[in-house]
Amino acid sequence: MTFVRIGGVPHHVVAEGSGPVCVLSAGLGMSWFDWDPVVPHLAPYRTVVRFDRPGHGLSAPAAAPPTAAGEADRIAAVLDALGHRGPAVVVGHSIAGFHAEAFARLHPDRTAGLVLVDSSVEEDPRPARTTAPARALGAVLAAAGLPAALGPAVRNLAVRAGTVRRGAPGPDLGPAPVRTDPALVRRVYRTSRVLRGTLLENARYGAVAAELLALREDRPLPPGLPVTVLAAPDGSARWERRQRALARRLGARYETAEPSGHLVMRDRPDTVARAVLDVRSRQEGAVDARGDVRSGQEGA
């Protein structure tokens, strides 16, 4: 288990595998182990870097509220701390899609490709004026002992809600799900630190989204950068329209993970891994970066 200090804050980092680097950043309130199902598909071919943002997983609490630029710089600092200074494929799930895209815009020379996994999308964000209510709520809930009493149960309910319902494992559902060690879940989610970190990041959601929209105007993506929007519509036509619009905005390849809930890395780790591994072939011109792919097949 590795910890690196960034901006004075200890960050939990896991690196494994060999080859070109990819960095995986999970969604709100999630931890490094949520990528466990994807790693076996990638580690034989890539150096896989996972990290916990402040207040998430095993990392220490945040020293300041998150920003899009700050999260982009955090990814760069994690890679620096591990000695990876060349281009990396950056994978962002949910809210971390904002961070991954910001990294590509602010650190273009260090970005080999961008994969947005059921990324958050905000066309008209409304930033909150203050994080004080979130901090106060976190303090009240922590004082009441709710994280220790209910944290792991709430986490497990959220995971079940975010994954597709399965019967017997079969080829139509992809690989059988990887079970997370209950001891790790308890270790992480019984802490008030994670509750407070999640509330703080959620309170800053609108501000980070607005900052990213401004970056889109001022900091274009590198020309020819392979970008994939990997969506999990799960029957929602509105969500699919928004994800397709994001792909058009970024000049990205659009792909769906089916069947899958929001936690695509748990439901379709093979599809996530394929999107990452495909970056090199797309750089070599083997795949049209403006293509449209559904469930791994050309044509939607």
Residue 264 and residue 239: Cα distance in Å, rounded? 15
Give rounded-to-5 percent helix, strand, coil for the chain: 45, 15, 40
The 10s digit of each residue's pLDDT in 232-256 is 999 899 999 999 999 999 999 999 9
pLDDT tier for residue 282 given thresholds of 50, 70 and 90: confident
pLDDT at 292 over 60: no
Percent of the chain predicted with pLDDT > 90: 86
pLDDT at 294 over 90: no
Distance of CA 262 to the CA centre of its chain: 11
pLDDT at 284 over 80: no
pLDDT tier for residue 209 given thresholds of 50, 70 and 90: very high
pLDDT at 290 over 90: no
Tell me the two tokens of residue 84: 């990876």
pLDDT tier for residue 280 given thresholds of 50, 70 and 90: confident
Backbone φ and ψ for 298, nearest 5 degrees, come out as -65, 140
pLDDT at 12 over 50: yes
Residue 230 and residue 12: Cα distance in Å, rounded? 26
- The pLDDT, as a whole number, for residue 61 is 96
Is the Cβ–Cβ distance between 80 and 49 less than 8 Å? no
pLDDT at 286 over 60: no
Is the Cβ–Cβ distance between 93 and 228 less than 8 Å? no
pLDDT at 124 over 50: yes
pLDDT at 168 over 80: no
CB neighbourhood size of 75 (10 A): 27
- The pLDDT, as a whole number, for residue 164 is 85
The model carries a pTM of: 0.91
- The pLDDT, as a whole number, for residue 172 is 56
Rounded mean pLDDT, 135-155: 96
Tell me the two tokens of residue 73: 């710089």
pLDDT tier for residue 1 given thresholds of 50, 70 and 90: confident
Q: What is the DSSP letter of 28?
A: T
The 10s digit of each residue's pLDDT in 62-103 is 999 999 999 999 999 999 999 999 999 999 999 999 999 999
Tell me the two tokens of residue 1: 């288990």
The 10s digit of each residue's pLDDT in 172-206 is 556 666 789 999 999 999 999 999 999 999 999 99
The amino acid occupying position 68 is A
pLDDT at 58 over 90: yes
Percent of the chain predicted with pLDDT > 70: 90
- The pLDDT, as a whole number, for residue 178 is 72
The amino acid occupying position 180 is T
